[in-house]
Amino acid sequence: MALIRVTSPHAHGSNKTANIMQWVLLSTLPGLSALTIFFGWGVLINVVFASLLAVLAEATVLKLRKKPIGFYLQDYSAVVTAVLLALSLPPFAPWWVTTVAVLFSIVIAKHLYGGLGSNPFNPAMVGYALVLISFPVAMTTHWATPSTLQEGPGFFATVGYIFLGQDIGVDGFTMATPLDVYKHQIAIATIEEVTSDPVFGNFVARGWEWVNLGFLLGGLVLIGRKIISWHIPVSLLSALCVCSLLLGWDEDQYTPLSIHLLSGATMLGAFFIATDPVSAATSHQGKLVYGAGIGITLYVIRTWGSYPDAVAFAVLLMNFAVPFIDYYTRPRTYGHTSAQRGIRRADPP
């Protein structure tokens, strides 16, 4: 064997992209469990179905792109996209909604832009936004009333409903989410009347609070493992809090902060969606701006827009702004008096 000639460094740490993705998947478990417990088997079925579909789509595109399939599938990125997408979809969303969303995420939003690392937009949110806009009825009428696994439809009944459309007689299918209910009812009812709605339960928002706490827990694990930095979640949630306290302090008119934080996709968005490193801002300072931008957009759309939740739109809108943010938030390099801002031509030699 000849002496190999490679450039330094020769040592390498133990970090692996696949490990990062696996940790992200593991960290979704508390939230996923809560979703399954309160909203039935549909969530779990969606997650598994979306993952299989995503791997299949990824393999097909890789084959078309003449890339080594095994090597690229090992990075788990397709599964992460699919899981995050499935966690956002309504639990009883029919199979074709999931299929369209996953295929669009993987094929269009990810691979047509160059595959992992090259997509300017968060693929899961692109898929979600597509089906939300295209199939509004299917997307808003498949949220079940939060219940327990025993009370809700059984596993096989759920499979039958999702894939075959078999009626399982769940009356809660037309049930709106707490954000939706509060936003639309508060104009015509008092706080007491609104919060007596079953979706709110006894605490903040029945089931949702546990789902969000679950994702919060998973997010803290990710921060602890240094897989994500604290900047985006903290600035996102802070911006949401500030907006809510400054602009929507009147609970007679606006959704209160507690519901903003602990219902809908807030925590999933803050810790898992917005922190997708590929489509997020680069520097720490940039991440603060990016996160705050999402928080503000999220609040604005939730309060004055036509959608009750807006994580997908907020994230996608800020994805647009990332190159701009990046140019203006470069860190100061060692030995430089100040950070460079904006696009500046390099000094002539």
Partner 1 sequence: MRKLWDFHGGIHPPENKHQSTQSSIRSIALPDTLVLPLNQHIGAAADPCVRVGDTVLKGQMIATAVGRISVAVHAPTSGTIAAIEEHPVPHPSGMSDNCIVLRSDGEDRWMELTFCADYKQLSAAEILSRVRQAGIAGMGGAGFPTEVKLHPPSNDKVNSLILNGAECEPYITADDLLMQERAKQIVKGMEIMAYVLEPEETLIGIEDNKPKAIAAMREAAANTRIEVIVVPTKYPSGGEKQLIRILTGREVPQGSIPADIGIMCQNVATAAAVYRAIRFGEPLISRITTVVGESVPRPGNYEVLLGTAMSFLLQQAGLPLAQDATAAAPVDITSHPRPNQGHCPAVTRLIMGGPMMGFTLPNASLPVIKTTNCLLAATPDEFPGPATEQACIRCGMCADVCPAELLPQQLFWYAKAEEFDKTEMYNLFDCIECGACSYVCPSHIPLVQYYRFAKDQIRAARIEQRKSDLSRARFEYRQQRLDREQQEKAAKRKARAESAAKAQAAKAASDQPEQAETTTMATTAKAGAGGAESKQYIIEAAVERAQQKHLQVEAESSKPPALEARDPEGPQNHEESRNLDELLDRVTKTKAKLEKLQDSLATSLATNGDQSNSPATEKLSNAVEKNKIRLAAAEQALAAAQATAPSTQQSKPA
CA-closest candidate to residue 45, choices 134, 144, 175, 178 = 144
Which CB, 53 or 116, lies closer to partner 1?
A: 116
Structure token digits, residue 95: 């199979």
Binding segment toward partner 1, per CB under 8 A, in 252-260, 263-271, 276-284, 296-304: 276-284
The Cα 8–Cα 292 span in angstroms is: 39
Q: How far is the CB of 222 from partner 1 (least distance, A)?
A: 11
Helices within the chain (DSSP H only): 17-27, 29-39, 42-64, 69-73, 77-88, 95-103, 123-134, 136-140, 155-164, 178-185, 191-195, 208-224, 231-247, 257-262, 266-268, 284-304, 311-328
Q: How far is the CB of 235 from partner 1 (least distance, A)?
A: 15
User: Which amino acid appears at position 56 of this protein?
Assistant: L
Does position 278 bind partner 1 by CB under 8 A?
yes
Q: How far is the CB of 231 from partner 1 (least distance, A)?
A: 10
Does position 120 bind partner 1 by CB under 8 A?
no
Question: In this structure, is the dihedral angle defined by the CA atoms of residues 291, 297, 298 and 303, taken in order, positive or negative?
Answer: positive
Binding segment toward partner 1, per CB under 8 A, in 82-90, 95-103, 293-301, 335-343: 335-343
Q: How far is CA 267 from CA 200, 213, 217, 315, 329, in A?
A: 18, 8, 9, 13, 25
* Contact string 314-333 vs partner 1 (x = CB under 8 A): ------------x---xxxx
Q: How far is the CB of 57 from partner 1 (least distance, A)?
A: 17
Does position 4 bind partner 1 by CB under 8 A?
yes
The answer to whether residues 233 and 274 touch, using CB atoms and an 8 Å cutoff, is: yes
Binding segment toward partner 1, per CB under 8 A, in 41-49, 182-190, 307-315, 337-345: 337-345
Does position 202 bind partner 1 by CB under 8 A?
no
CA-closest candidate to residue 276, choices 89, 129, 133, 119 = 119
Binding segment toward partner 1, per CB under 8 A, in 5-13, 47-55, 122-130, 291-299: 5-13
Binding segment toward partner 1, per CB under 8 A, in 52-60, 196-204, 222-230, 296-304: 222-230
Q: Pick from 79, 86, 186, 280 the residue near partner 1 by CB under 8 A.
A: 280
Binding segment toward partner 1, per CB under 8 A, in 97-105, 155-163, 209-217, 338-346: 338-346
Q: Pick from 64, 118, 196, 203 the residue near partner 1 by CB under 8 A.
A: 118
Q: How far is the CB of 305 from partner 1 (least distance, A)?
A: 29
Which CB, 63 or 226, lies closer to partner 1?
A: 226
Token look-up 């999402």 returns 294
Binding segment toward partner 1, per CB under 8 A, in 1-9, 57-65, 130-138, 197-205: 1-9
Question: Would you list the DSSP string of 214-248?
Answer: HHHHHHHHHHHTTSS-SHHHHHHHHHHHHHHHHH-
The answer to whether residues 87 and 47 touch, using CB atoms and an 8 Å cutoff, is: yes
Count of residues interacting with partner 1 (CB under 8 A) = 49
Q: Pick from 64, 117, 156, 249 the residue near partner 1 by CB under 8 A.
A: 117
Question: Would you list the DSSP string of 249-304?
Answer: --TTTS--HHHHHHSTTHHHIIIIITT-TTTS-SSHHHHHHHHHHHHHHHHHHHHH
The answer to whether residues 283 and 326 touch, using CB atoms and an 8 Å cutoff, is: yes
Token look-up 């490193």 returns 277
Does position 180 bind partner 1 by CB under 8 A?
no
Q: Pick from 150, 306, 337, 338 the residue near partner 1 by CB under 8 A.
A: 337
Q: How far is the CB of 10 from partner 1 (least distance, A)?
A: 4
Does position 67 bind partner 1 by CB under 8 A?
no
The Cα 253–Cα 185 span in angstroms is: 10
* Residue 323: Cβ within 10 Å count: 12
Residues forming contacts to partner 1 in the complex (CB under 8 A) are 1-13, 15-17, 19-20, 71, 75, 77, 115-118, 226-227, 229, 277-278, 280, 282-283, 326, 330-337, 340, 343-347, 349
